[in-house]
């Protein structure tokens, strides 16, 4: 059974709404520090704010690149990642180019992810690749996992939270079956309850991305307030 501390250490406490304010990001970071979440995941324009708020906290600063659609040019994603790492991010969640992937341009996808993995590792960071499982068949999920592994990604992540659905237990089972043991999995999108969180971890998820991070720590029979954030799919 997962303890609250063990579950908290798996959560990327997230706020990626387009209307997110600086004050909300500061609050998110305060919650992440207090709960000792794995990271606070913030929009690129707030990386420096989060880095300042989380200094010496043990909580990582995470941000997104090529978000949420993934079809930016490689050089644009590379610049985004470089800028974020320079401003204090240590974890980069990049959206795979699903358009290129669906077009069969696997070598191009792998090369892009490889460049980003090399950059992140050179700067002491980690790369999580969002494959957007809602848009993929099981065979495509497996193929995408193979490309991420070949490119040197640290994590493969299910979803942006901006597509038709978020993570499912079945997605995680497929990904865990396909990926080498050393590559971790992040489930994200629509995770709003403790029960969902536990089910995803039991299926093989190493991290959980959620805006309802505090709610995930609260079992159904607990009377404690879950979160000051309204749960969303992000």
Active site residues: 93, 157, 186
- Nearest Cα neighbor of 215 from 232, 182, 192 is 192
In Å, what is the CA distance from 133 to each residue of 111, 124, 142? 20, 28, 10
Helix (H) / strand (E) element for 91: namely: strand 91-95
Q: Burial of 2 by CB count in 10 Å (0-12 exposed, 13-18 middle, 19+ buried)?
A: middle
Decide if 202 contacts 157 (C-beta within 8 A). no
Cα separation, 187 vs 198, whole angstroms: 11
In Å, what is the CA distance from 222 to each residue of 193, 215, 219, 225, 229? 12, 10, 5, 8, 18
Return the axis-axis angle of helices 194-203 and 169-178, rounded to nearest 10°. Answer: 20
Cα angle 58-64-65, degrees, rounded to a multiple of 5: 135
Q: Burial of 145 by CB count in 10 Å (0-12 exposed, 13-18 middle, 19+ buried)?
A: buried
Beta-carbon contacts of residue 11 (< 8 Å; ≥ 6 apart): 35, 37, 38, 197, 207, 208, 209, 210, 213, 216, 217
């Amino acid at each position: 059974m997962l303890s609250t501390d063990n579950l908290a250490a798996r959560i990327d406490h997230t706020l990626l709404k387009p209307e997110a304010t600086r004050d909300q990001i500061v609050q998110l970071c305060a919650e992440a520090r207090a709960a000792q979440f794995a990271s606070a995941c913030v929009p690129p324009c707030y990386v420096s704010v989060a880095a300042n708020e989380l200094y010496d906290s043990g909580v990582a600063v995470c941000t997104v690149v090529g978000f949420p659609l993934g079809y930016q040019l490689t050089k644009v994603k590379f610049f985004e990642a470089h800028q974020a790492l320079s401003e204090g991010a240590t974890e980069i969640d990049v959206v795979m180019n699903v358009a290129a992937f669906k077009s069969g341009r696997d070598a191009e996808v792998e090369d892009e992810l490889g460049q980003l993995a090399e950059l992140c590792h050179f700067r002491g960071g980690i790369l999580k690749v969002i494959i957007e499982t809602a848009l993929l068949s099981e065979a495509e999920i497996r193929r995408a996992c193979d490309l991420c592994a070949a490119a040197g990604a640290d994590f493969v992540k299910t979803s942006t939270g901006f597509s038709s659905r978020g993570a499912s237990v079945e997605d995680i089972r497929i990904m865990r079956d396909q990926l080498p043991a050393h590559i971790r999995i992040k489930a994200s999108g629509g995770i709003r309850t403790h029960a969902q969180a536990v089910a995803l971890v039991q299926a093989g998820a190493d991290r959980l991305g959620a805006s309802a991070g505090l709610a995930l720590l609260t079992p159904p029979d607990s009377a404690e307030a879950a979160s000051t954030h309204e749960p969303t799919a992000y």
